[in-house]
Chain A
Amino acid sequence: MNVFVSNDLWLIPLIPFVVGFAIGLFGRYVQQFWSGFAACLAMLASLVYSIKAVFLLASTPADVVHVKQHVWTWMTSGGLTIDFSLVVDQLTAVMILIVTGVGFLIHYYSLGYMEHDHDSPRFFCQLNLFAGFMLLLVMASNLLVMFVGWEGVGACSYLLIGFYFKESEKAAAGQKAFLVNRIGDVFFVLGVLLLLYGLAQAGLAPTLEFAQIKAGAGALEDQRLALSWGTAAGAGSPLVEPTSVGLVTMVCLLLFVGATGKSAQIPLFVWLPDAMAGPTPVSALIHAATMVTAGVYMVCRLHFLFVMSPTAMAVIAWVGALTALMAGVIGLAQRDIKRVLAYSTISQLGYMFLAAGVGAFAAAIFHLLTHAFFKALLFLGAGSVIHGLKGEQDIFKMGGLRTKLPVTHLTFVVGALAIAGVPPLAGFFSKDLILYHAYSSRLGSPGLYLIALITAVLTAFYMFRMVTLVFWGESRVDRAVKKHIHESPPSMTITLMFLAVLSAMAGFLNLPKILKGSEWFDTVLHPVFARVHVLGAPDHRLEGVLMLVSILVAVIGVTMTTLFYLSPRKDEALEELEVTWVYRAIYRKFAIDELYALIVVCPLSAFSRFLKDAFDGALIDRTLVNGPPRLLKIAGRFLSEFQSGDVQRYLLLLTLGMAAIVVYLIKTL
């Protein structure tokens, strides 16, 4: 196992960090243009260094596992040493290219989008910091440095969602995102701690380095964790308690809960739709292309742990599939253009987890890549529409924008076709790969496949519902806005075109063998995932059949939806539909937010208020702490009655006392 050392890796996250801080400190004192310019330049520099690192990796001999740079030793405690070190292997290479590449495009797009916002330095500062943390996340060589990035991107997402802080609701959406992410993060930390515990139990040196965990993972296989307080039965213990679970399973599940927070899966997905309160480029970069994929990346990065636990894999696959389905269903009825895309993102992330859960890690990453392109494209397209319509986001108040926004229209349709899975666009190949593995993998099942297929139909439906309502048909735009509709500035449209090309072509990176392709992407990632043996042997006939089904489903879905929403009778049909309880349940997003508020937030809030007022205030402070002094005070007041200040009363008591003593003495003597 060889490691190649490079001294340039740290520049990749450092440049956005430094530039971000500089913009934050000085951005307000220079012309607005310069902050955006510097931010773009930073991303470009980072992209250049990423490409350099990738070429370095590609040029190393075959036995080199990764390129590494040890930056400094972060902390040591007992036997545990945590280095601040960065690695680039094939998986990281894909991720840094996405982050810096798509990141640069979105920065460039933002130059136009944020042109008229006098607060743009703050925006670019936070966007650059985000990029830095994201790069740190994917380049980290150990779990704790990954956690730095993991929480850092969460913090930046909080800042950027709440960018329009003057509107309290938007700021609150940022807080919600941070808090929900924090719930996941706590489970992440617990997973890390349990992993350390497991290593200690297995007699291994404590470490959080991915490479070393991978090397020692085998020893963890037999570790079990008793589900009672305090003790745990070690390996080879004669009596494995009936209530024990595999330690690896538990570690994986804890880490996966962390991933559900970051990647918006059931049960922690509620923050992502609200996160659309941020500026649209933020939604594109953070809440579509990069940050939300961190959970998928983490599972793939730790695939060697996850594959050891079939239970955890099954949980991931099913959670992914169900999330995909649920979000797809909710996406059907949303009216806000960005919310549709948000639920679509949740749904697509579900696909990625489904892929990871059945052991198709390369497919998960491939979908991550294509999704980054087409979803960034769709969000930026939506941003262009919103920009052109002066902030209008309701798709029922759009329509007929085809002629007014030609570039946006064209690129948006490309993105929609890609995500709907119409060949030969990128989404088709990546989604088809996932569908195939969901069916054929040893961990897969027809049930998973079916859910994924239904979700594919839903995807086609909600995307083309949106495309039809926004761009085609007759215009329903408010008259006041209508006059001002305009195509976006070049920096935005150029980005759109660029991403459209990527969305259209990226699929060919992994052209399947049955289409005479070489599955190049799979081959590239092969060194990372080489030890995964859960995928079934390639079955080309099955693959062909499933592919035809996918194509059929996508094409039918797209055509039917378009025809329905273009038909003149659609309004009546919709009116009928809207009164049904099913529609209302979907439109209200199954009231999950309200449910969480009812079972978590409100009781906690009431409990805190009880603690503050009744427990802390009344019981501890006023009764237990101030009670005894008050008793003393009452006693003192009673006793001080004797201290009347009346000399004659003193004397009377004195005399009586003396008399009593005299009487007593006379009696006893």
Chain B
Amino acid sequence: MTDTLAQGYLSLSAILFTIGTIGVLARRNVLVVLMSVELILNAANLAFVGFGRLRGGPEAAAIVLFVIVVAAIEAAVGLAIVVALFRGRGTTRLDEINLLRG
């Protein structure tokens, strides 16, 4: 019973992760990419929760809380960068931002 539940968590996590990855790789809008990153993080959270349920114990929950905090910070910093980028370059399309081109 618990196995199937855990499998469910993990499957959902995998699906979320894949969607997130594709979003990061394929979408051109920085905001969408950032949201996809959130999806990936949440997929990871879900995987933690799933494994935590399998193993028992509080560590997984602690890490998940930790990740949520980091994700929040990341969103804050990331959005700030996006705003700055938009002000500076007038675009939020990723393929138009290649300042580090060699």
Contacts and interface: CB of A to CB of B under 8 A. Distances in A.
Interface of A: 639-648, 651-652, 655
A641 B98 CA distance: 12
B102 interface: yes
A647 B102 contact: no
A643 B102 contact: yes
Given A644-B102, A651-B25, 16 more contacts: A639-B102, A640-B102, A642-B102, A643-B101, A643-B102, A644-B98, A645-B98, A645-B99, A645-B100, A645-B102, A646-B94, A647-B97, A648-B28, A648-B33, A652-B25, A655-B21
A646 to B, nearest CB: 6
Interface string B51-62: 000000000000
B95 interface: yes
Nearest to A636: B102
B41 interface: no
A154 B61 CA distance: 102
B101 A644 contact: yes
Nearest to A637: B102
A651 B94 CA distance: 12
B23 to A, nearest CB: 10
A652 B33 CA distance: 13
A647 B97 CA distance: 9
A443 B99 CA distance: 93
A587 to B, nearest CB: 75
Interface of B: 21, 24-26, 28, 33, 94-95, 97-102
A647 B34 CA distance: 12
A648 B101 contact: no
A643 B24 CA distance: 18
A647 B94 contact: yes
A646 B97 CA distance: 7
A112 B27 CA distance: 101
A456 to B, nearest CB: 89
15 contacts: A639-B102, A640-B101, A640-B102, A642-B102, A643-B101, A645-B98, A645-B101, A645-B102, A646-B95, A647-B97, A648-B24, A648-B94, A651-B24, A655-B21, A655-B25
Contacts of A655: 21, 25
A362 B94 CA distance: 103
Contacts of B100: 643, 645
Contacts of A644: 98, 101-102
A604 B25 CA distance: 68
Contacts of B94: 646-648
A651 B23 CA distance: 11
A652 B95 CA distance: 14
A648 B98 contact: no
B27 to A, nearest CB: 8
A644 B26 CA distance: 16
Contacts of A646: 94-95, 98
A642 B28 CA distance: 19
A657 to B, nearest CB: 13
Nearest to B101: A645
A639 to B, nearest CB: 8
Contacts of B33: 648
Contacts of A652: 25
Nearest to B100: A645
Contacts of A648: 24-26, 28, 33, 94-95
A643 B100 CA distance: 7
A321 to B, nearest CB: 80
A445 to B, nearest CB: 87
Contacts of B95: 646, 648
A499 to B, nearest CB: 86
A651 B40 CA distance: 13
A645 B24 CA distance: 15
Closest 4 CB pairs of A and B: A645-B98, A643-B102, A645-B101, A640-B102
B32 to A, nearest CB: 11
A393 to B, nearest CB: 75
Contacts of B28: 648
A644 B95 CA distance: 10
A604 B26 CA distance: 69
A344 B24 CA distance: 101
Contacts of B24: 648, 651
A646 B33 CA distance: 13
Contacts of A647: 94, 97
A648 B26 CA distance: 7
A647 B37 CA distance: 13
B61 to A, nearest CB: 27
Nearest to A654: B25
A273 to B, nearest CB: 69
B86 to A, nearest CB: 16
Contacts of A643: 100-102
Contacts of B97: 645, 647
Nearest to A650: B100
Interface centre among A643, A644, A647, A652 (most CB of B within 10 A): A647
Contacts of B102: 639-645
A640 B102 CA distance: 5
Nearest to B24: A651
B45 to A, nearest CB: 20
Nearest to A641: B102
Contacts of B21: 655
Nearest to A640: B102
Nearest to A642: B102
Contacts of B99: 645
B74 to A, nearest CB: 15
A446 B56 CA distance: 133
A646 B102 CA distance: 11
Contacts of B98: 644-646
